[in-house]
Amino acid sequence: MDDNTHDEERREREAAAAQAAEWERQAAAQAAWWTRRMSGYGEELLRQNNLMYSGLIAIGIVLVQPFLTSGAASLDLSAKICVIAFSLAIPLLAALIVLNRHEAYRRRAARSVVVRVARESSLGLGFVGVVAGLWHIMVLAGVAVLVGGVLGLVVYSAGFARVEEEDDQAAKGAAPAPKP
């Protein structure tokens, strides 16, 4: 091998090392940018969750209350579904509110699979309870809250994305997101 071949191989190694270093720098800058951007999101998520949990507990108490005086035999299927869904959801939601307070106190989120399952299932059970309770009152009301819930999720998702995009645009002057 001659010196030109060695020089060419050395330049290729140096170029590859420089490219790898650049990618590492970009990855670190992007991670730091996301860390700054999401620093207050955990606390906001706890507030939003507490609002949902508390609201579902209140709605559950209101919807289940009339069924407490009537016997279980006199309840139709939608009323039974409402009572059972809220019987499961209300204790889970209450436990999650207490857990959220502890997470806020410690400034750490619980990362347990059990907690994640409890969060998702309690919200789902609460929604099922609301739909079944309103279905019991009037079928059209049950369908309406079901459709409204889906539309509300779409509105929230679109609004969340838009707010985050606009906030990103407003913060462009400060420190834009590094490009990958």
Q: Where are the domains of the chain?
A: 1-39, 41-137
54-67: per-residue pLDDT in tens? 999 999 999 998 88
Q: Read off the tokens for 139.
A: 């079928």
pLDDT score, position 111: 84
- Whether the pLDDT of residue 177 is over 60: the answer is no
70-102: per-residue pLDDT in tens? 776 788 899 999 999 999 999 999 999 999 988
Whole-number Å distance between alpha carbons of 161 and 157: 6
| pLDDT confidence tier of residue 162, bands split at 50, 70 and 90 | confident
Whole-number Å distance between alpha carbons of 98 and 118: 13
110-151: per-residue pLDDT in tens? 888 999 999 999 999 999 999 999 999 999 999 999 999 999
Query: What is residue 109's DSSP assignment?
Result: -
Q: Read off the tokens for 55.
A: 């609201």
| pLDDT confidence tier of residue 171, bands split at 50, 70 and 90 | low
Q: Looking at per-residue confidence, does 132 or 170 come out higher?
A: 132
The CA angle 27-33-34, to the nearest 5 degrees, is 90
Query: What is residue 8's DSSP assignment?
Result: H
Q: Which amino acid is at 58?
A: A
Query: What is residue 110's DSSP assignment?
Result: -
Q: How many CB atoms lie within 10 A of CB 63?
A: 21
Length in residues, the chain:
180
Whole-number Å distance between alpha carbons of 147 and 25: 47
pLDDT score, position 26: 87
Q: Looking at per-residue confidence, does 51 or 178 come out higher?
A: 51
24-55: per-residue pLDDT in tens? 998 888 887 777 766 667 778 888 889 999 99
Contact of 132 with 78, CB cutoff 8 Å: yes
Contact of 63 with 79, CB cutoff 8 Å: no
pLDDT score, position 30: 80
pLDDT score, position 108: 78
Q: Looking at per-residue confidence, does 167 or 87 come out higher?
A: 87
3-28: per-residue pLDDT in tens? 677 788 888 888 888 898 899 998 88
Q: How many CB atoms lie within 10 A of CB 151?
A: 10
Whole-number Å distance between alpha carbons of 74 and 3: 95
